[in-house]
Amino acid sequence: MVFDEAFDVIVVGGGHAGCEAASASARLGAQTALVTLNLDLIGQMSCNPAIGGIAKGHLVREIDALGGVMGRVADRAGIQFRLLNRSRGPAVQSPRAQADRALYRKEMRRVLECTENLHLRQGMVVDLLADKEKILGVEMQDGRRVAAAAVVIAAGTFLNGLVHTGRRTYTAGRAGEPASIELAESLKRLGFPVGRLKTGTPPRLDGRTIDWSAFQPQEADARPVPFSFSTDEIEQPQIKCFVGYTTPALHNTIRKNLSQSPLYSGQIKGIGPRYCPSIEDKVVKFADRERHQLFLEPEGHDTNEVYLNGFSTSLPAGLQQDLLRMIPGLEEARIIRPGYAIEYDYVDPRQLGPDLQCKKIAGLFHAGQVNGTTGYEEAACQGLLAGINAAATVSGGPPFRLKREESYIGVLVDDLIKQGVDEPYRIFTSRAEHRLSLRHDNADERLRGYGRNLGLVGDGDWERFNQRQDHIAAAKHALKTIRFKKCDAAYAMAVETVGSELGESISLEELARRPGVSTGIIQRLFHFSHNVPITTSELEAALADNLYAGYIRAQDLVIQRLRHHDAIRIPANLDFRSLDGLSHEMVERLERMRPQTFGEARTIPGLTAAALSALYVVARLQT
């Protein structure tokens, strides 16, 4: 085959997965091409202009710890930072930021432009060139053939994308951009199991037509917590968002017009995410609710566009405008871009290994929505992993994978490749059985070392990390050793702040475990008796370990117990069809997964207790 150009790695798509993949691969020394339909839309946030949130913020922290770019870019483009769940424990706190959409694109483009070994190419990939079980390169729409030892597909919603507004449908990757139809067909030709998913987006409004006084303002944090471990200060001026509500009259109008909704007319076949329902879904499925919450999120400093969060819809554009007028404060509002639903192809992620490489075609990696996930953060972390591993296939390095017990990324990948998806997959903290240990504050402790060993963490960041770890270790030691006795001056201060007796003497660590004792109190007492330089963030990390230690131990015991039988081997020649207790679908899944141990079988979803016990008996009987 003759090629016009050759690289080590080609990344198809310039969204959040593609950017991380290309950046990581290039920085690991692979000559990397990022091929995208429109170079001006690199790092585009197709939907909500926000990064992070519960569990998603954890992912951004982990990406940053490994040496990815999302955290840094978000820190430079964030215009409303809020640490969510501030009133709850550190394990479930998570940073979130509204971003300036244009600024985010600009920053991401800048980061990629100044990455050595990274080559941006505009164009549409229409075919994957493979020789039986090995990827060779890609073919572009203009006929160019580009060779590569590894290809990362990060095509987002573009694969066979079909936009719906009311009864109108048209092919598109996003509103206003062409769909990638040939590439989707190429994947099918290669024999990949392809399914259909759906997602949606709300209308964007003209901020000048909104009566802002009708909404409650929502302020940014006074002290913004950045995503990146390398960021000291958030420099963007911070803005307000606003909260409002729908009305019963609006709900009635939607109900009357359901026949115009492609979701309810049967026109949309793909499955949408249950945690991100359209306004039609909310009104129908939760009919008893008088109102639904809406967020007005300005899209940036230099635009009038406002994102109407909570109002995702595929109703006809004209009807969208009518509905908005029923919202107090939006009586005069004008739509700049209507909301729409989009259906797209995804490839069953169970055909991937833990390195996100396709089992049947060496050198081909899938990352992001093509694997059935939703969300920028979910896409970015897969892109990072795929980029690292694509570079590794070129350099001959070992594959890089992450475990469930050490990272949310590990949880996400493990869920994807073992269980597949029934709806667009989003990360949640409840998906992580080791939730108390996988915190945003210790993402660096968990993963920085990997990033450094891979070569993605520079000297400056590494130095910074070690310093932070030293401070945390010193703080932990101090928490144990600082004790207040009744005769100490600080004791009286502690009693006063806590508001109850503390016994003969109490260590700072014991004090911190008392309910209602805030980090602020500990910090004051800490500095009162100890002259170590320590930041709030470092103290928080030290305290979090202290707070959860007992619970983590208890939880580990339960998990161990659950896994007690996991080592039992399942005979390789076992015919699952001979197990009557299993449903047809389960037999199919078992056959596809071919679990080698009882533990692997246990994680296959939908297996009933009876079916598992049947399998357990067979395994025990035959070994």
Partner 1 sequence: MDTIVAVATSPGRSAIGIIRLSGPQALEILRSLVQDQVFTPEPNRIVLRQIRRESGEPLDSALVSYFAAPRSFTGEEMVELSCHGSPIILRRVLDLTQSLGARLAEPGEFTLRACRNGKMNLSQAEAIRDLVNAQSDAAVAQAARQLKGELSAALQPAKEKLIEIVVKLESALEFVEDDLPRIQVEQIKIDLVQVIGMVEALAATFATGRALREGVKVTIVGRPNVGKSSVFNRLAGLDRAIVTEIAGTTRDSISQSMILGGIPISLTDTAGIRIANDKIEEIGIERTHQAMADADLLVVVVDGSTKLSAEDLAIISEAMRARHVVALNKCDLVFEPSVVAQLSQASKVVHVSALTGEGLEDLTAAILSPFGAVDSETVGLLVTDSRHFDLLRRTSASLADSVKSLSQSASEEIVLVGLHSALQFLGEITGETTSDEILGKIFSTFCIGK
Regarding 582 and contact with partner 1 (CB under 8 A), the answer is yes
Classified as helix, coil or strand, 397 is coil
In sequence order, what are the residues at sequence separation of 6 or more whose Cβ sits closer than 8 angstroms to the Cβ of residue 612?
Answer: 601, 602
Among 4, 40, 88, 191, binds partner 1 (CB under 8 A): 88
Among 9, 91, 220, 413, binds partner 1 (CB under 8 A): 91
Regarding 274 and contact with partner 1 (CB under 8 A), the answer is yes
Task: Spell out, one character per residue from 411 to 450, where the chain touches partner 1: x when CB under 8 A holds, - when not.
Answer: --------x--------xxxx-x-xx--------------
Regarding 285 and contact with partner 1 (CB under 8 A), the answer is yes
Q: Nearest-CA neighbor of 12 among 390, 454, 417, 341?
A: 390
Regarding 85 and contact with partner 1 (CB under 8 A), the answer is yes
User: What is the DSSP secondary-structure string of 404-415?
Assistant: TTT-HHHHHHHH
Between 85 and 529, name the residue whose CB sits nearer to partner 1: 85
Cα distance between residue 76 and residue 68, in whole Å: 15
Handedness of CA 130, 135, 140, 146 (dihedral sign): negative
Q: Least distance in Å: CB of 415 to partner 1?
A: 9
Between 230 and 429, name the residue whose CB sits nearer to partner 1: 429
Cα distance between residue 32 and residue 502, in whole Å: 61
Among 44, 46, 115, 312, binds partner 1 (CB under 8 A): 312
Among 581, 597, 599, 600, binds partner 1 (CB under 8 A): 581
Q: Least distance in Å: CB of 412 to partner 1?
A: 13
Q: CA separation (Å) from 454 to 65, 80, 448, 468, 574? A: 12, 33, 10, 20, 40
Distance of CA 401 to the CA centre of its chain: 17
Q: Least distance in Å: CB of 620 to partner 1?
A: 8
480 conformational bin, left if phi > 0, alpha if psi -120 to 50, beta if neither: alpha
Between 114 and 572, name the residue whose CB sits nearer to partner 1: 572
User: What is the DSSP secondary-structure string of 550-594?
Assistant: HHHHHHHHHHHHHTTTTTPBPPTT--GGG-TTS-HHHHHHHHHH-
Between 406 and 433, name the residue whose CB sits nearer to partner 1: 433
Among 23, 169, 309, 437, binds partner 1 (CB under 8 A): 309
Regarding 608 and contact with partner 1 (CB under 8 A), the answer is yes
Q: Extract the tokens encoding 85.
A: 């769940």
Among 266, 516, 567, 584, binds partner 1 (CB under 8 A): 516
Classified as helix, coil or strand, 399 is coil
Q: CA separation (Å) from 78 to 81, 207, 227, 298, 593? A: 7, 19, 10, 12, 42
- What are the φ/ψ torsions at residue 362 (nearest 5 degrees)? -65, 140
Cα distance between residue 52 and residue 72, in whole Å: 13
Between 343 and 415, name the residue whose CB sits nearer to partner 1: 415
Q: Nearest-CA neighbor of 32 among 141, 144, 150?
A: 150
Q: In this structure, which amino acid lies at residue 304?
A: N
Regarding 293 and contact with partner 1 (CB under 8 A), the answer is yes
Q: Nearest-CA neighbor of 369 among 300, 335, 416?
A: 416
Among 41, 84, 194, 568, binds partner 1 (CB under 8 A): 84
Q: Least distance in Å: CB of 153 to partner 1?
A: 26
Q: Least distance in Å: CB of 608 to partner 1?
A: 6
Cα distance between residue 369 and residue 335, in whole Å: 28
Q: Least distance in Å: CB of 109 to partner 1?
A: 28
Give the range of 225-233, 280-288, 348-356, 494-502 binding partner 1 by CB under 8 A. 280-288
Between 207 and 581, name the residue whose CB sits nearer to partner 1: 581
Among 14, 224, 298, 310, binds partner 1 (CB under 8 A): 310
Handedness of CA 593, 598, 602, 607 (dihedral sign): positive
Q: Least distance in Å: CB of 309 to partner 1?
A: 6
Regarding 98 and contact with partner 1 (CB under 8 A), the answer is no
The footprint of partner 1 on residues 543-572 (CB under 8 A) is 548, 551, 554-555, 558, 561-562
Give the range of 72-80, 139-147, 391-399, 580-588 binding partner 1 by CB under 8 A. 580-588
Helix axes 376-395, 16-27, angle to 10 degrees: 30
The footprint of partner 1 on residues 15-54 (CB under 8 A) is 53-54
- Helices of type H across 455-535: 459-481, 489-498, 508-513, 519-529
Q: Least distance in Å: CB of 84 to partner 1?
A: 5
Number of residues that bind partner 1 (CB under 8 A): 59
Between 156 and 277, name the residue whose CB sits nearer to partner 1: 277
DSSP state of 332: T
Q: Extract the tokens encoding 568.
A: 């039992």
Q: Least distance in Å: CB of 348 to partner 1?
A: 17
DSSP state of 502: -
Q: Which residues bind partner 1 (CB under 8 A)?
A: 53-55, 84-85, 87-89, 91-92, 274-277, 282, 285-286, 289, 292-293, 295, 309-310, 312, 419, 428-431, 433, 435-436, 515-516, 548, 551, 554-555, 558, 561-562, 578-582, 602, 605, 608-614, 616-618, 621
